[in-house]
């Protein structure tokens, strides 16, 4: 009480004076919405539409700080001045950029952690509407791979500095302060994003138990004081696959079938199925009815699909209320010729900030999104599988216009259409945040803030599958027979599901920020808690009397025609958070933070984890003895260390779990039996990451910036399930592709270390300006402990190697002849034309002991990016190159009599007549053949390194003189592209793919035209 009294007295005696002025840009135009802060306090104001401002400055304060996104922050001495006009210069150095950090903001020069930030204006340059696909290559430390390109399901997988866990690898996304906000990052409207920050080191520890894999912070745009500004943009794009495999044609495949039959029965010769005459007929197209030659990809896919985007936003504000309101619409078509695949998204966002009293600010953010997905009843994986499987010697459509049966009733040309029914999947997301900030009177720099956020999502699917008729042509008698397919039981079938999720998050935070002479303190303590809840409901109905009534109520009435199930889950968390950041003259920087996290995932006693972090920085360039080093404008060394956690494992693992499973029939019906699902681990608790980070930032020659970072992470107590070390005779046996019986245990240990480097240069000369920035990241993990069999062989161990490597036979060639076969060890059953596996242990025989663990996995150890921006007068061009190295992807296509071959294999196969082929002989089923899946080997392991032009954007701003009479303040035209070209050794597929059979909707190349107009 005494302290309070003293403090209030201090304030009460303070005097103040008025300062006014105007903030302008280089060309003299007023800048609206510039933040103006009285240095040493937390009070300030914002410039109005014309750039003018007025502020009351208390006695004893003599500096104003002007900051504006995209411009260098200026600090101006106002001693003895009442009018202060300021010109802001576009930010070349980005040194004084304000960076969003966990629970706050910080100037880049006082940062002690490794944090990368990208602005929304860079993200909108990509025509790919999925935000996760706009991260790759932009800055060091992030590894993003676009695994597939289906509209609505084109998310990239992203990791920060690789991975250091065998458990859950997902990155925590925090949007406007809400950790794990429903709806996530990927489908945000890029036009709503102000900035994205990536917390790569211990600075993420402020997010505690979910931060071990790194944190991405997203802030959305807010209004600025000024007259209303309307911004409208329209984009129209064409997308097409980056690459598709060439498939064997009918004569080639017919010859292959003959070869397969020959290998199964050599006595029968090489024409057991098709004669040379028939193969000729496939080739010459003389008899398309009996000897077709179908290119299934061409039959199914169109050259390009349309996508379009509209975006409208309104920003502005008065002294008391600022607003940002936006509307967005997105539409993407599938690349199928007659397809019904479609993704549409509508979104709105309204961010309103209000000053209620001198002490109280309130803001409210509301965002909503409708994602409408429409698909045929077959998934993209099935459709592409059918395209690659379907035989080239089967017609897609007969000359009389009837669709063929394709491959076993799967005709991809028909599968993509609505003939077999429609699968709709609308999803709505609502995010609401109410924030308040209260400046506690009497204590300067002390404030209380908090927020309450509610997220909801509703995800509904309705899939109505209808039977339809395909036709089979019978060459023997020239007739067609019907092949009834689709639906279920020759009738229609309806599947419906609901998934509703709720997340509520509340936060109360007490802040203290103050400049005291040369000392600056910024600190807070907070409590946060959240509860997420999910409800699921599924039902299906069979045997619809008619296809005209696609409603759950209208299906068949027998008990076996109906089914329903559902489940729900709840997670709760509670956290206590604190941080003190201190700097002395912005020269010596230090920060201490701590989070105590409690999670409902773990049993009482093991619930709370402690996540401390410390960091420090030293700006050498601020030292007086440094001032004579003229070419260095800024030099900082910094280091951080902290502990972070990972708790992303299923609930209830601390006791034996039993669940109902009605699989066994007694009497006339399935009995509600019970299975043991999970054994108990009473000790289960977090996974802990210890992160160390050392960095140097420098700014040289007024334009050259560089950053070098060394990082190291030690992950321990990794939650993983034992499998290899528990013998099956104990009866503790994990099932295949289902929940593991063995619970997660805190046993794994992984180290991950590497470095990042960024080098940039910016320059402007007259009408011409450019900036170039390159970044490179090398991150390598090493497994220190992972569950392995006690007698695992040294060269097969996962321990000591990176995570997720492959265990494969080394291929050293192809057996060209019987003689070669006799000369080298091989497994029983090898024939000429099969791959030669290395006898790794040189014991003269091949066994599983000769398998070798690979050096690389499908997560690249090396990623790099190059960002070039060039402007001249009203033109600007930006190009983003992204690449990766030290990465491998296994891909063995599903081939044989089960389906067609890639041309790369078909044309280069070993065969009795082509013993120099570079691919092994063909076989009945690649997945179980000698050279294929039976002895998984590195012939099918591909180097997935690439360099690609991820993004290219060319813009033209129409000169103001031409448009001003239309009351248009800005008019801009864009041409931009995504994945424009790629250099890679991968032959058949996009190197970013991860499906080992290649069955996925291909990644897209997009060319886009856009126009943007502002009023």
Select 405 or 642, whichever has its Cβ closest to another protein.
405
Residues in region 152-191 near another protein by CB under 8 A: none
* Torsion 435-515-23-771 (CA) sign: negative
Smallest separation, CB 250 to another protein (Å): 13
The full length of the chain comes to 1015
- Does 527 bind another protein (CB under 8 A)? Our answer is yes
The full DSSP string for 479-539 is: EEEEEEEESBTTBEEEEEEEEEEEEEEEEEEEEEEEEETTEEEEEEEEEEEEEEEEEEEEE
- Does 270 bind another protein (CB under 8 A)? Our answer is no
| CA 536/CA 565 separation, integer angstroms | 8
3-state secondary structure of 966: helix
Residue 992 near residue 1005 (C-beta atoms within 8 A): no
Residues in region 564-593 near another protein by CB under 8 A: 567-574, 576, 578, 580
**In the chain, what is the straight-line distance between the N-terminal and C-terminal CA atoms, in Å?**
54
Smallest separation, CB 624 to another protein (Å): 25
Select 525 or 700, whichever has its Cβ closest to another protein.
525
- Does 541 bind another protein (CB under 8 A)? Our answer is no
Smallest separation, CB 679 to another protein (Å): 6
Residues in region 876-895 near another protein by CB under 8 A: none
| CA 660/CA 677 separation, integer angstroms | 9
Select 37 or 492, whichever has its Cβ closest to another protein.
492
- Does 3 bind another protein (CB under 8 A)? Our answer is yes
| CA 186/CA 176 separation, integer angstroms | 15
Rg (CA), the chain: 32
- Does 560 bind another protein (CB under 8 A)? Our answer is yes
Residues in region 919-958 near another protein by CB under 8 A: 924-925, 927-929, 934-935
Residue 367 near residue 982 (C-beta atoms within 8 A): no
Select 89 or 676, whichever has its Cβ closest to another protein.
676
Element (H, E) at 821: helix 818-823
The crossing angle, in degrees rounded to 10, of helices 250-264 and 276-284 is 160
| CA 616/CA 203 separation, integer angstroms | 11
User: Left, alpha or beta for 336 (phi > 0: left; psi -120 to 50: alpha)?
Assistant: beta
| CA 870/CA 888 separation, integer angstroms | 35
Q: Which residue do the tokens 């599924």 mark?
A: 538
Smallest separation, CB 2 to another protein (Å): 9
Pattern 844-863, another protein, x by CB under 8 A: ---xx---------------
Smallest separation, CB 500 to another protein (Å): 15
Residue 980 near residue 205 (C-beta atoms within 8 A): no
Smallest separation, CB 954 to another protein (Å): 49
Select 254 or 635, whichever has its Cβ closest to another protein.
254
Smallest separation, CB 665 to another protein (Å): 4
Count of residues of this chain found to bind another protein when the rule CB under 8 A is applied:
134
- Does 643 bind another protein (CB under 8 A)? Our answer is no
- Does 367 bind another protein (CB under 8 A)? Our answer is no
| CA 770/CA 764 separation, integer angstroms | 6
User: Which member of 828, 913, 916, 965 binds another protein (CB under 8 A)?
Assistant: 828
What is the CB neighbour count within 10 angstroms for residue 5? Answer: 10
Pattern 381-420, another protein, x by CB under 8 A: ----------x-------------x-xxx-----------
Residues in region 754-813 near another protein by CB under 8 A: 789-792
Element (H, E) at 12: helix 2-12
Select 233 or 599, whichever has its Cβ closest to another protein.
599
For residue 722, with 0-12 CB atoms within 10 Å meaning exposed, 13-18 middle and 19 or more buried, which class applies?
middle
Select 237 or 899, whichever has its Cβ closest to another protein.
899
The two tokens of residue 261 are: 């039959």
User: Which member of 263, 323, 806, 905 binds another protein (CB under 8 A)?
Assistant: 263
385 alpha-carbon distance from chain centroid: 24
3-state secondary structure of 787: coil
| CA 414/CA 402 separation, integer angstroms | 11
| CA 123/CA 216 separation, integer angstroms | 15
| CA 179/CA 172 separation, integer angstroms | 7
Select 166 or 523, whichever has its Cβ closest to another protein.
523
- Does 526 bind another protein (CB under 8 A)? Our answer is yes
User: Which member of 80, 668, 766, 844 binds another protein (CB under 8 A)?
Assistant: 668
- Does 264 bind another protein (CB under 8 A)? Our answer is yes
* DSSP secondary structure code for residue 925 in this structure: B
Interacting stretch for another protein, rule CB under 8 A, among 237-245, 769-777, 896-904, 993-1001?
A: 896-904
Element (H, E) at 256: helix 250-264
- Does 306 bind another protein (CB under 8 A)? Our answer is no
Select 36 or 589, whichever has its Cβ closest to another protein.
589
- Does 677 bind another protein (CB under 8 A)? Our answer is yes
* Nearest one of 383, 368, 370 to 150, comparing CA atoms: 383
| CA 423/CA 465 separation, integer angstroms | 8
| CA 254/CA 259 separation, integer angstroms | 9
Smallest separation, CB 428 to another protein (Å): 25
User: Which member of 681, 869, 895, 974 binds another protein (CB under 8 A)?
Assistant: 681
User: Which member of 318, 549, 606, 897 binds another protein (CB under 8 A)?
Assistant: 897
User: Which member of 360, 674, 962, 983 binds another protein (CB under 8 A)?
Assistant: 674
Select 36 or 279, whichever has its Cβ closest to another protein.
279
Pattern 445-464, another protein, x by CB under 8 A: xx-x----------------
> Kind of pairing, strands 970-978 and 946-957?
antiparallel
User: Which member of 322, 347, 485, 861 binds another protein (CB under 8 A)?
Assistant: 485
* Greatest C-alpha distance within the chain: 109
| CA 69/CA 762 separation, integer angstroms | 17
Select 225 or 653, whichever has its Cβ closest to another protein.
653
Pattern 222-261, another protein, x by CB under 8 A: -----------------------------------x----
Pattern 504-523, another protein, x by CB under 8 A: ----x-x-x-x-x--x-x-x
Residues in region 601-640 near another protein by CB under 8 A: 604, 607
Smallest separation, CB 488 to another protein (Å): 5
- Does 679 bind another protein (CB under 8 A)? Our answer is yes
| CA 268/CA 501 separation, integer angstroms | 62
The two tokens of residue 463 are: 């899939």
Residues in region 693-752 near another protein by CB under 8 A: 722, 724-733, 735-738, 741-743
- Does 672 bind another protein (CB under 8 A)? Our answer is yes
- Does 660 bind another protein (CB under 8 A)? Our answer is yes
903 φ/ψ angles, rounded to the nearest 5 degrees = -60, -35
Select 487 or 802, whichever has its Cβ closest to another protein.
487
Select 407 or 718, whichever has its Cβ closest to another protein.
407
Smallest separation, CB 618 to another protein (Å): 22
Smallest separation, CB 642 to another protein (Å): 21
Select 317 or 833, whichever has its Cβ closest to another protein.
833
Select 468 or 1001, whichever has its Cβ closest to another protein.
468
């Amino acid at each position: 009480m005494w302290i309070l009294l003293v403090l209030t007295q201090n304030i009460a005696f303070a005097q103040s004076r008025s300062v006014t002025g105007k903030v302008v840009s280089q060309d003299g135009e007023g800048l609206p919405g510039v933040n103006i802060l009285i240095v040493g306090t937390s009070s300030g104001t914002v410039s109005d539409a014309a750039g003018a401002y007025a502020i009351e400055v208390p006695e004893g304060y003599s500096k104003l700080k002007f900051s504006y996104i995209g411009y260098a922050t200026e600090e101006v001495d106002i001693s003895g001045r009442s009018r202060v006009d300021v010109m802001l210069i576009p930010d070349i150095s980005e040194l004084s950029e304000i960076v969003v950090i966990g629970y706050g903001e910080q100037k880049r020069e006082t940062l002690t952690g490794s944090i990368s930030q990208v602005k929304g204006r860079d993200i909108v340059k990509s025509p790919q509407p999925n935000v996760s696909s706009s991260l790759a290559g932009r800055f060091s430390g992030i590894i993003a791979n676009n695994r597939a390109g289906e509209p609505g399901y084109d998310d990239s997988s992203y990791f920060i500095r690789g991975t250091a866990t065998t458990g859950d690898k997902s990155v925590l996304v925090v949007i406007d302060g809400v950790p794990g906000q429903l709806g996530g990052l990927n489908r945000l409207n890029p036009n709503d994003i102000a900035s994205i920050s990536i917390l790569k080191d211990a600075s993420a520890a402020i997010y505690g138990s979910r931060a071990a894999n790194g944190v991405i912070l997203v802030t959305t745009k807010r209004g600025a004081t000024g007259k209303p500004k309307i911004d409208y943009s329209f984009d129209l794009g064409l997308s097409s696959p980056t690459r598709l495999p060439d498939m064997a044609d009918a004569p080639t495949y017919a010859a292959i079938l003959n070869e397969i039959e020959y290998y199964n029965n050599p006595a029968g010769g090489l024409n057991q199925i098709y004669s040379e005459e028939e193969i000729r007929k496939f080739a010459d197209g003389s008899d398309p009815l009996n000897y077709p030659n179908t290119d299934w990809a061409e039959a199914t896919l169109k050259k390009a699909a349309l996508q379009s985007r509209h975006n409208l936003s309104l920003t502005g504000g008065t002294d008391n209320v600022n607003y940002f309101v936006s509307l967005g619409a997105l539409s993407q078509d599938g690349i199928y010729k007659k397809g019904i695949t479609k993704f549409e998204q509508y979104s709105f966002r309204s961010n309103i900030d209000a000053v209620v009293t001198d002490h109280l600010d309130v803001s409210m953010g509301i965002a909503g999104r409708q994602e409408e997905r429409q698909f045929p009843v077959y998934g993209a994986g099935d459709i592409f599988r059918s395209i690659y499987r379907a035989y080239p010697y089967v017609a897609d459509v007969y000359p009389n216009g009837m669709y063929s049966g394709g491959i076993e009733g799967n005709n991809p040309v028909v599968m993509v259409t609505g003939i077999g029914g429609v699968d709709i999947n609308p999803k709505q997301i609502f995010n609401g945040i109410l924030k308040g900030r209260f400046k506690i009177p009497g204590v300067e720099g002390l404030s209380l803030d908090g927020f309450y956020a509610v997220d909801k999502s509703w995800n509904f699917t309705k899939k109505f599958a209808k039977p339809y008729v395909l036709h089979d042509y019978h060459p023997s008698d020239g007739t067609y027979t019907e092949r009834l397919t689709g639906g279920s039981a020759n009738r229609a079938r309806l599947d419906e599901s609901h998934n509703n999720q709720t997340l509520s998050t509340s936060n109360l935070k007490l802040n203290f920020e103050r400049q005291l002479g040369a000392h600056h303190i910024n600190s807070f303590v907070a409590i946060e808690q959240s509860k997420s809840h999910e409800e699921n409901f599924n039902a299906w109905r069979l045997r619809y009397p008619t296809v005209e009534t696609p409603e759950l109520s209208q299906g068949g009435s027998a008990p076996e025609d109906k089914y329903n199930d559902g489940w729900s889950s709840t997670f709760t968390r509670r956290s206590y958070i604190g941080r003190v950041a201190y700097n002395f003259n912005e020269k010596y920087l230090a920060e201490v933070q701590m989070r105590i996290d409690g999670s409902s995932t773990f049993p009482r006693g093991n619930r709370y984890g402690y996540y401390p972090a410390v960091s420090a920085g030293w700006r050498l360039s601020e030292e007086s003895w440094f001032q004579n080093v003229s070419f260095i404008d800024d030099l900082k060394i910094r280091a951080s260390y902290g502990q972070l956690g990972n708790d992303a494992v299923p609930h209830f693992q601390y006791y034996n779990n039993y669940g109902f499973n009605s699989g066994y029939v007694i009497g006339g019906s399935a009995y509600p039996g019970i299975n043991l699902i999970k054994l108990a681990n009473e000790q289960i608790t977090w996974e802990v990451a210890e992160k160390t980070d050392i960095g140097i930032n420098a700014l040289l020659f007024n334009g050259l910036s560089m950053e070098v970072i060394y990082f190291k992470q030690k992950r321990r107590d990794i939650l993983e399930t034992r499998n290899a070390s528990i013998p099956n005779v104990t009866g503790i046996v994990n099932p295949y592709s289902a929940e593991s019986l063995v619970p997660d245990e805190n046993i794994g240990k992984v180290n991950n270390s590497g470095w990042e480097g960024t080098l940039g240069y910016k320059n402007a000369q007259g009408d011409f300006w450019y900036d170039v920035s390159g970044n490179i990241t090398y991150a390598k993990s090493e497994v220190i402990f992972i569950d392995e069999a006690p007698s695992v062989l040294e060269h097969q161990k996962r321990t000591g190697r990176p995570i997720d490597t492959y265990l494969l036979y080394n291929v050293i060639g192809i057996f060209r002849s019987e003689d070669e076969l006799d000369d080298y060890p091989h497994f029983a059953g090898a024939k000429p034309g099969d791959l030669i596996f290395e006898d790794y242990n040189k014991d003269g025989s091949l066994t599983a002991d000769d398998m070798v663990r690979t050096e690389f996995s499908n997560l690249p150890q090396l990623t790099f990016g190059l960002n070039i921006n060039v402007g001249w007068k009203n033109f600007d061009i930006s190009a983003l190159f992204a690449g990766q190295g030290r990465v491998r992807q296994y891909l063995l296509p599903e081939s044989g009599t089960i389906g067609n071959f890639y041309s790369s294999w078909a044309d280069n196969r070993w065969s009795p007549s082509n013993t120099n082929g570079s691919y092994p002989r063909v076989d009945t089923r690649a997945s179980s053949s000698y050279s294929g899946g039976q002895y998984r080997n590195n012939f099918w392991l591909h180097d997935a390194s690439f360099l690609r032009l991820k993004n290219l954007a060319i813009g033209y701003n129409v000169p103001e003189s031409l448009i001003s009479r239309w009351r248009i303040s800005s008019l801009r035209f864009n041409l931009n592209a995504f994945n424009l070209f790629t250099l890679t050794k991968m032959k058949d597929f996009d190197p970013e793919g991860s499906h080992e059979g290649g069955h996925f909707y291909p990644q897209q190349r997009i060319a886009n035209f856009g126009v943007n107009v502002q009023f």
